[in-house]
Structure 1
Amino acid sequence: MASGKEVTRIITLETYLQHHFKKGILQPPLFTSWEKALRFEMSEPGVSMNAPSGLKRAIHRSVTLFDEVFGDEDTLLVVADVYTKKNHDFFEKRPLSVYRTFVKTQEVLDQMRHELVTEPRSTEGEEMVTHRFLQPCRKKDLHYGLMFETKCFEQERMPITGLKKQPGSRFEIYYLNQTRHIIFHLFSERGCDIIAADMDEIRPLYDKYNGWIEKSYRSMIDARFTEPSTGLKR
């Protein structure tokens, strides 16, 4: 894992976000922090992810939407933020575990960069830190179905990401399409946020997968895509 260009890489990420999304940070919930956004329902309410139908639906929807957002030749940047206690030994023991299971080749993995985010976080009195991993790649380089399954079973799959089961430890994975300027974030088994610099880039998703839109936000999303006040076509 290279270490000499972390500062350049992070500045580049921040500059990219500020230029296309008017913000320099990645943090959930993306849907409520950016108007050009969709939120889709992944799992069926009331159905456990341990049930075959629950997992099947969540993975199917995740993969389907991902394939719509990312073309074979699009430039991707996968950003994984791993939140854990400051004194946790995860990084010393398993620094690449976040990606080693999910990236198909060592050649691509060698391009991954690490950044220790310095903003302090606290959970139940414990100081937390964020390990940020940045992986440039293309869609073909990833076992993304497995990545989605791991996120859906986050608590059960903590060992895969090098995290022990401890209060506050968790991870978020953001997929940036730097060709079309779209960010894809499967935040849990419940839902997925997709935001774009240009509303027209995600309008086909609104039309084609309208039945998957999160019911709680249906009226808000419909208004964003149909009301004249937004400047969008009816």
Structure 2
Amino acid sequence: MTIDLGQYLHNAFPGLTLAPSLYHQWDIGIHFELGAGFYQFKDDGSLNLEMFDCVYSQALSIFNDLFSDLDEIFLVTNVYQHRSDEIKKKRIKVYGRYIKNKDIKFHLRQETLPYVFDAEEADDDYYTSQFSLKCRKQDFKYPLLIKAACNEDFPLKPRLDKKWGACSNYPDVFFINMTKNVIFFIYDDRGCEVIATNKETIYPLLEKYGDWIDEYSREEIVKRYK
């Protein structure tokens, strides 16, 4: 029996909304700070590319520890749009440049969902186009997609919002490991979240990358794993 994204989330992560701040929705999770000790800009006002290289490397390390070649993955992207946006009538090529196995692109699913942010201006004028694709690690260019997620606030390539119309927020990408029941989400260059259904699945990350946990979150996270 083939399970779709909604069924999977309902079974593995009941009550969870696939939106930023996963860590605050779920009891088992870790919040990592990326690029700590760096600033996004140099003294002359130019972008600090050394910081971004560090962020990319950290995010990729966490991803590689969480996802193996044999794991089944749901690649999910939320695109936040306004109903007046004419592009909604067209098929958005959300993963076009990131897919290596072209055969799986025909399995891409799109669903229209309510706007996930509690903004007053959102009301019924904004909505979420959610794209999901079942794949494996080797099927897509995950280093490129991870970079695009990190580049949210800066004019760096690759990016996720090109030619996608009047998006009210930068698109969000969620990497879901169906085999291990883990969700990995990079919210921007500042950090990422990891949640799981089992503490033992992500505890090794706490041991290995404990220095990447910001001081504000450290005490709470340590309590979770006692």
Secondary structure of 2:111's counterpart equals: strand
Secondary structure of 1:43's counterpart equals: coil
TM-score normalized with structure 2 length: 0.85
Offset, 1:90: 2.8
8 Å contact from structure 2 (residues 152, 170) kept in 1: yes
2:150 counterpart residue number: 152
8 Å contact from structure 2 (residues 74, 134) kept in 1: yes
Unaligned residue ranges in structure 2 (runs of 5+): 42-46
The AA in structure 1 aligned to 2:210 is N
Q: Aligned equivalents of 1:167 and 1:68: distance in 2?
A: 32
- Residue 182 (str. 1) matches residue 174 (str. 2): no
Give 1:153-168 correspondences, 5 Å limit: 153-155=151-153, 156=155, 157=159, 159-160=161-162, 162-164=163-165, 166=166, 168=168
1:47 counterpart residue number: 39
Offset, 1:89: 2.4
Judge which range, 144-153 or 27-36, deviates more. 144-153
Q: 1:65 to 1:194 in 2, by over 3 A?
A: same
8 Å contact from structure 1 (residues 123, 167) kept in 2: no
1:70 counterpart residue number: 67
> C-alpha root-mean-square deviation of aligned residues, in Å?
2.3
Q: Which has the higher helix share?
A: 1
Task: Give the alignment partner of residue 131 of structure 1, picking from 107, 129, 132.
Answer: 129
Q: Aligned equivalents of 1:206 and 1:120: distance in 2?
A: 29
Q: Aligned equivalents of 1:68 and 1:37: distance in 2?
A: 15
- Residue 58 (str. 1) matches residue 55 (str. 2): yes
1:212 counterpart residue number: 212
Judge which range, 38-47 or 139-148, deviates more. 38-47
Deviations along 1:17-65, whole A, 9 cap, x unmatched?
2222222531220111111000111123551173121111110011100
Q: Aligned equivalents of 1:88 and 1:53: distance in 2?
A: 37
2:44 counterpart residue number: none
Q: 1:112 to 1:223 in 2, by over 3 A?
A: same
2:103 counterpart residue number: 107
Q: Aligned equivalents of 2:182 and 2:115: distance in 1?
A: 26
TM-score normalized with structure 1 length: 0.83
The AA in structure 1 aligned to 2:88 is F
8 Å contact from structure 1 (residues 42, 191) kept in 2: yes
Give 1:216-231 correspondences, 5 Å limit: 216-226=216-226
8 Å contact from structure 1 (residues 104, 141) kept in 2: yes
Task: Give the alignment partner of residue 38 of structure 1, picking from 11, 30, 50.
Answer: 30
Identical positions, percent = 26
Task: Give the alignment partner of residue 21 of structure 1, picking from 3, 13, 16.
Answer: 13
Deviations along 1:86-131, whole A, 9 cap, x unmatched?
11123335511x2101111321211111111145876646711111
Unaligned residue ranges in structure 1 (runs of 5+): 1-7, 227-234
Q: Aligned equivalents of 1:45 and 1:38: distance in 2?
A: 20
Q: Aligned equivalents of 1:16 and 1:125: distance in 2?
A: 28
- How many residue pairs get aligned? The number is 214
1:232 counterpart residue number: none
The AA in structure 1 aligned to 2:66 is V
